[in-house]
Amino acid sequence: MTQNHDNSYVPYTSVEFPDSAWMAQFRRRILAWFRRNARDLPWRRTRDAYAIWVSEIMLQQTQVVTVIDYFERFLAAFPSIADLAAADEQEVLRLWEGLGYYRRARQLHAAARVIVAEHQGRFPREPEQIRGLPGIGRYTAGAIASIGWDAREPILEANTIRVFSRLLAYRGDPQKNAGQQRLWEFAAGVLPKRDTGLFNQALMELGSEICTPRGPLCDQCPVRALCPTFRLGLQDEIPLPKRKTKYEDRHEAAVLVRRGDRVVLRRCGPEERWAGLWDFPRFPVTARRGESLSQQLERALEELTGLKVEAGRKLATIKHGVTRFRITLDCYEADWTGGRLGRNRDVRWVEIAALEDYPLSVTGRQLSRLIPPASL
Ligand code: SF4
């Protein structure tokens, strides 16, 4: 950053880094602030790499308040890497149910198996080995190593991208390659020699609690005096806003096929939205000439499961969003009239009472709660 003759700072997209006096003051202030203000979170009470790893994976795309219960239940069920590796994937997904982004759970499980097979069940310490594990990228590896054993590893995630962009008054797009490179360099340069775990957590805490995306609490910020974005009043412009997601509307139907006290469940395939989870048979609603909705439902059900059914009444309409899709899901009852499921193990009749044991998609769980009491 350079200073003009009128004493104002000019923000660049290719920023220069602040000098060592700035860095030293920044470290001192943020560490002192974090020691006084850190929230008491369950994963902050340990330096066990496994627990930190689980928390970091859960916290990706998910808020802290949501993660706390899931984290405690998960560690109670699988207290060690070996326990997780020995578990069935269905158990892991059941505990993850509702957290979303289920790929995270499958990769965590797969990585636990790699650690048992290749590292005697102990979380590896070599950066290359850590990053070689399924689902662990540069950020997660840095977070585990710094928080777990104070390795001198930088981090960059949503909160620190925002904090660093503002501390550097970086006007470019922080998501693009050039921006990422600069911010990673800054993350490495600003790291202290000691207490790197505390320092990295302090940065994330500052981003989450003070330097928020909209309306940052600059008057409470411990590094306000060092912040060019505050000085220039550019908090609303830095970082550059992300491009708005274009949403797509979808119309789908789910069918609750009953036969006595059992219903049909189908496991989503590896390429599907909820890969590995179970759901009621579900398909897109498309307009076909001369075909009523009931006929479409019966045809689609037979194609998907091999069963013949008679479509019944609509139970509910659930509106929900998944990534860029805004979905309207109409849920119907249907009675089994014939046909068999065949040998496909991913479609099965399940006792209604056993539905609790199955990892279901979010809407699958909602629909399971709508099963009319008369059929229980
Ligand atoms: Fe963020 Fe404001 Fe602190 Fe700058 S002064 S780091 S914009 S909270």
Print the domain residue range for 154.
2-232
Tokens of 187: 């993350």
Give dist(CA 354, CA 371) in Å, integer. 13
Domain boundary among 173, 202, 232: 232
Beta carbon of 229 within 6 Å of any ligand 1 atom: yes
Domain count within the chain:
2
Residue 241 forms part of a structural domain: no
203 lines ligand 1 (CB under 6 A): no
Residues 185 and 303 in one domain: no
CATH of the domain at 339: 3.90.79.10
Taking a C-beta distance cutoff of 8 angstroms, is the pair 167, 223 a contact? Answer: yes
Does 240 fall in a domain?
A: no
140 Cβ below 6 A of ligand 1: no
User: pTM for the whole thing?
Assistant: 0.86
Query: Could you give the dihedral angle defined by the CA atoms of residues 65, 68, 70 and 74, in that order, rounded to the nearest 10 degrees?
Result: 170
Selecting among 56, 153, 205, 333, the annotated active-site residue is 56
Co-location of 312 and 225 in the same domain = no
Instruction: List pLDDT tens digits, range 325-343.
Output: 999 999 999 999 998 887 7
Residue 344: pLDDT above 70?
yes
135 plus 38 within the same structural domain: yes
CATH number at residue 220: 1.10.340.30
What is the DSSP annotation of 181-221? HHHHHHHHHH--SS-HHHHHHHHHHHHHHTS-SSS--GGG-
Q: Which atom of ligand 1 is nearest to the CA of 222?
A: 3
327 and 301 in one domain? yes
Verify that 277 and 348 share a domain, yes or no.
Answer: yes
Domain closes at, from 184, 205, 232: 232
- Answer yes or no: do 131 and 187 share one domain: yes
Q: Which pLDDT value is given to residue 134?
A: 97
Dump pLDDT digits (tens) for 38-66: 999 999 999 999 999 999 999 998 999 99
Catalytic residue flag (residue 56): yes
